[in-house]
Amino acid sequence: MAEMWISMGPQHPMTHGLWTLKVKVDGETVVDTEPDLGYIHRGVEKICEARDFTQITTYCDRLCYASANTWSHSYIYAAEDLLGVEVPERAEYIRLIAVELQRIASHLMWLGAYGPDIGNLSIMVWCLREREMMMDLLQELGGSRMHYNFPRIGGVKRDLPHGFSQRAQAKLKLFLNRIQEYEALFDESTVFLVRSQGVGYAKPEEMINHGVSGPNVRAAGVDYDVRWAHPYSVYSELDWQPSVERSSIKGADCYDRYRVRVEEMRMSASMVLQALDKMPGGSETYHEPGDPKIIAKAPSRAPEGTSGSHHFEDSRGESMFYIAGGGEGRGKMPYRVSIRSPMFITIPYAAKCMIGYKVADIPAIMGSFDPCIGETDR
Amino acid sequence: MGKKISAAAQQKAAEELAKAMSSFDGVSAEIDSRSSGTQVRHTVSATSTPESWRQLAEALATDHAVDYCSMITGIHWPEAADKTWEVVYHLMRTGVKDPGAIEGVVQPNITDAENLTGADMPMEIQISISLPDTREPMVPSVQDLWVGADWNEKETWDLVGIDFEGHEGMRRVLNPHETPVGYHPLQKQHKLRYHGFEEMYDDAQGFMRKPADAGKIK
């Protein structure tokens, strides 16, 4: 049978955004793929060159709507490296809580979107219900529902509000119980198992060589995680292990990538509970915004010749910022901001993963890598 | 307790790597200590000449277990004294190995983080390469060593206009495919602020915007 190219996207439920996957098919079998990105390129890196360091946080929130907090934190750590700021420990704990709650919300969003991808619509409603609890907590911190603009260079916008820790503990305990419901819904669904098991195999060494990291690598039986390998924040103070999945000998399939994210949500919930307990000053005390316990003074200018970078464990892999100082206004603005998006590197790899499988497996494989086009196109 | 790598062992590993890298012609590497949070981490920062870059990259990939290309950044410095273009590579050593199997059952790799030493130690490496003033800036490609560099190189050419010698399949990735040849938006001659006018602040509602032929027609 003659081979032919077909375009999936830019408008296709598989894409989880706006991009095109060109697929070369031989009958029902995929023989070649070519992703085509850039449909929602906003030029964030260029815009940042005309904004001062505090204004950029807002733009970084909007890189990924499902995981806004991890992106603004990723930027803030790089900016602190550039400006040489030492952050108070209490602020680091609050940041950790914000980031891990965001990670749960992001994975729930993924799980909610992955269910409909492979024919289980009810899971979406369940996941978004629990995601709402996480977003309520994050709203208490940041003030808005999705784009929190919460971290500040040198600390955080505000302290944990009164009663936050009780509400967080109650909600996380409820959430930990409800995870079992998802597992029952997924693991006992024949449709889900048939469509996710045995497709999209990926081996860890190959993934690392292709620049893929995060949960996608941990699904294949390795415990590489930026949070311990390149330590930042206060992760080293908490008792946690990266979630690792026992994959098959051929590598991680879509089912392993689902399992590892469910385990990761458990681990994040446990980290938040630990951080609430361990926080210096206790989680019940409240400091006014601007208090030196939660925010340190930071210079507003970075001279020419300085640079800062930071590797950060995003919900989808390793994200990073590289900032060169010395832009307009005698260093008030960055000269160049460069963003590493984990999905920008993962999407070409996921497209390679599909070769040899059937056309009907494409949504299952693509969705399992958790694509987010906002950060990919920047 | 959770996983924690030993800062002293990491410093030693970084020193060894920096020393090995500095032995190349035109490469100078040093250790950088960074602290964000409660733990100090040591990274390697280096500068290289474009001529020795390919040789250095091959040595890093084969001899020093650098297995991950995180990001490639291109910078246009039209007004700097010593360079016009700069390429910054962020590489990493992750230490990830395929897990072994006993009787067909995979045994996950769990790293003993406290006792990591030498070439097993995760490491961050930053290498910057300065290029002289030229219309066609170019550095050798490392696409074949780290496939992760593939799309990074495409992006750097697309946005900044720095080309990679030996890169296969160079094309626009973020800009539209029909973008004019030679247009790379992150070059500094393309300005966001012009004549002291900032659209976002000085004319947020767009009342001052006029059609291009304003004043010429009745």
> Closest approach of chain B CAs to the CA of A247, in angstroms?
7
Question: What tokens does A213 get?
Answer: 């990291």
- Residue pairs spanning A and B at CB distance below 8 A: 185
Question: What tokens does A279 get?
Answer: 């926080």
Quick one: what percent of chain A has pLDDT higher than 90? Answer: 30
Amino acid at A359: V
Residues of A numbered 117-146 whose beta carbons fall under 8 angstroms of chain B's beta carbons: which are they?
A: none
Locus of tokens 């390679």: A352
Minimum-distance CB partner of A249 among B104, B148, B173:
B104
Would you give the DSSP letter of residue A37? -
Minimum-distance CB partner of B192 among A37, A49, A238:
A49
CB-CB neighbors (< 8 A) of B201 in chain A: none
- pLDDT at B102 (0 to 100): 83
Which fold does the domain B7-98+112-202 belong to in CATH? Beta Polymerase; domain 2 (3.30.460)
SS3 label, residue A239: coil
Question: What tokens does A267 get?
Answer: 């681990």
Do A335 and B90 make contact, defined as CB atoms within 8 angstroms?
no
Residues of B numbered 129-188 whose beta carbons fall under 8 angstroms of chain A's beta carbons: which are they?
A: 146-152, 155, 159, 172-176, 185-186
Dihedral (Cα; B128, B132, B133, B138), 10-degree rounding:
-70
In this structure, what CATH number is given to the domain that contains residue A353?
Answer: 1.10.645.10
Distance CA A143, CA A126 (A): 25
Q: For the purposes of burial, counting CB atoms within 10 Å of the CB of B188, is it exposed (0-12), middle (13-18) or buried (19 or more)? A: middle
Distance CA A23, CA A6 (A): 5
Distance CA B162, CA B85 (A): 8
The total of structural domains in chain A comes to: 1
**Strand B101-102 relative to strand A336-340: parallel, antiparallel, unpaired?**
unpaired
Provide the pLDDT confidence category of residue B140 given band limits of 50, 70 and 90: very high
Domain span at residue A214 reads 4-377
Q: What is the pTM of this model?
A: 0.89
Domain boundary assignment for chain B: 7-98+112-202
**Mean pLDDT value of segment B118-143:** 88
Which residues on neighbouring strands pair with residue B131, listed in sequence order? B85
Do A320 and B88 make contact, defined as CB atoms within 8 angstroms?
no
Among candidate residues A247, A199, A219, A245, the one with its CA nearest the CA of residue B105: A247
CB-CB neighbors (< 8 A) of B38 in chain A: 89, 92, 234, 236-237
> Closest approach of chain B CAs to the CA of A248, in angstroms?
6
**Mean pLDDT value of segment B176-185:** 87
pLDDT tens column, A127-148: 898 899 999 999 998 888 888 8
**Mean pLDDT value of segment A79-83:** 90
- pLDDT at B132 (0 to 100): 85
What's the whole-number average pLDDT of chain A? 88
Do B41 and A232 make contact, defined as CB atoms within 8 angstroms?
yes
Residues of A numbered 336-375 whose beta carbons fall under 8 angstroms of chain B's beta carbons: which are they?
A: 336, 338, 340, 344-345, 348-349
Dihedral (Cα; A40, B154, A315, A295), 10-degree rounding:
-90
CB-CB neighbors (< 8 A) of A80 in chain B: 36
- Among A344-353, B23-32, B104-113, the least confident range: B104-113
Could you tell me if B8 lies within 8 Å of chain A, comparing CB atoms?
A: no
- pLDDT at B203 (0 to 100): 65
Cite the beta strand spans of A27-156 per DSSP E. Answer: 29-36, 151-152, 155-156
Would you give the DSSP letter of residue A34? E
Could you tell me if B5 lies within 8 Å of chain A, comparing CB atoms?
A: yes
Do A241 and B151 make contact, defined as CB atoms within 8 angstroms?
no
